[in-house]
Structure 1
């Protein structure tokens, strides 16, 4: 059986997307949103910070836990 990870929204109501950089408003922890899949067929967005040992599916957190502080996929225009 496969399952998709449910979407989540940040403290401002914005949809959390892949490569968003998040701050947990309760703990101050920072995380990067990545796409993940496991052997049981679960796939979707996960939060990850290997420096502090954080790694979990995004949908284990309720809406409004995270604040989007940026997106790691953003690049400056080349001149």
Structure 2
């Protein structure tokens, strides 16, 4: 048996739907901003997500690796092997 709740969207604040499905999957979606979160109700692991306007925050180490010039990244990768 599935259940549907009307909640406020965590992305834009408009009304959104939270559907609890029979297979322990929870799907939250907003038609106003296209927010989507699908996760396991038992483990809370995210299966699929999309949230326009929310930027991903990378740890400083990963961000530095992305911002380096490509030649420098190749040199670092070569030295590690």
Provide TM-score, normalisation by structure 1.
0.24
Larger gyration radius, structure 1 or structure 2: 2
Q: Which structure has more helix as a fraction of its residues?
A: 2
Which of structures 1 and 2 has the larger relative contact order (alpha carbons within 8 angstroms, sep 6+)?
A: 1
Provide TM-score, normalisation by structure 2.
0.23
